[in-house]
Structure 1
Amino acid sequence: MKKYFILYKPFLLFLTTFFFTYIVLTVLYQEYLNSFGENKLDAITRMVAKNTDQLLHFFCFNFSIQENPSHSFIKLIFNQKYVARIIEGCNAVSVIILFVSFVVAFSGKLKPTLLFIFGGSLLIYVLNVFRIALLCVLMFHFPKQEKFLHGVLFPLFIYGVVFILWVIWLRKFSKYASKDTK
């Protein structure tokens, strides 16, 4: 048994670190959400909605957001038509938690790790705002494609970005990155 532990030690350390980080961050995020009470919208989701509104106004679209205090979502109105809503799950925090957990599990030196986590998290957040804005525009013009757009294309996009960030982290910055400069 000891032989297998030694043989698979790097993999077991990765799994332990990944799941520990993921669980801790998820519990902290859940506590954050619980602080807003039932049927209350959290500040991060409000910020995502506001940033989406600002982005679409920057591109001169007729867009607005409507928050109803008795519901835990924000309506997205495009050209006076209700096209979608933002709920807590749309704010990309769970995706960022997954990203951070992976980077920590393959962490390298402290400064590059923290910088990559900050930069990657910011990139995921910004791309998520663009994703929601584009989703609103496309759902206005192609309402029958809602399931494909929301359920397939855009999750593929955001998780694809996270995967690319992971690959960059592993190949360039993690403690397992190749030190060869060929």
Structure 2
Amino acid sequence: MIQLRYCLIVLLTLVTAGCGALKSPAYSPDYQVLDNLKNKQLLNVSVAPVEPTDPEAKVNKISLRAASLTTDQGTFSAYFEQSMIQDLTEMGIYQPSSNVQIKATLVENNIDISSFSKGHGKMIVDLEIHKSSVLTFSKQYIGETEFESSFAGAVAIPKAQSEYPYLVRELLKQIYSDPEFIKELSK
């Protein structure tokens, strides 16, 4: 009888773990990368709304098997935008009125947990820098992560949910570590 109850509880947990919407955890900066940039003389920058802003755009929807991942910012584009603003603020160079503006478009945004043992995240962004409305820099950046996963949805889904901020951090690390990006923002 106890085994039957245990089996029912496990089955119910597995079924409900894959249903509904899950929230992405809050972004946390890579302070080592930010500290490296703090030592450089960089221009103050503003950040344009990251495209696409449409919540129905493919990059603003992430499916984790039977569950969907969502964000408090409403879209993953806005999540990326707020993460970048948080980093630039930490570096002391974010200024909303600056005529040096970063514009970004999410091209790909996905967490894949279809494998039995590994999960993968991939995010691609097209990034531009405009100075006084003149395009001065344009480049595509790719961030990728790999993490332990499981065939069991009750394990894989929460793990993928917790990994999303690391994917964003990895993409931003690629941007902030790029000598061309640093040179473009240097005084």
Q: Which TM class, normalised by the smaller chain length?
A: 0.3 to 0.5
Normalised TM-score (structure 1): 0.33
Normalised TM-score (structure 2): 0.33
Structure with bigger strand share is 2
Bigger relative contact order, structure 1 or 2, given CA contacts below 8 A and separation 6+?
A: 2
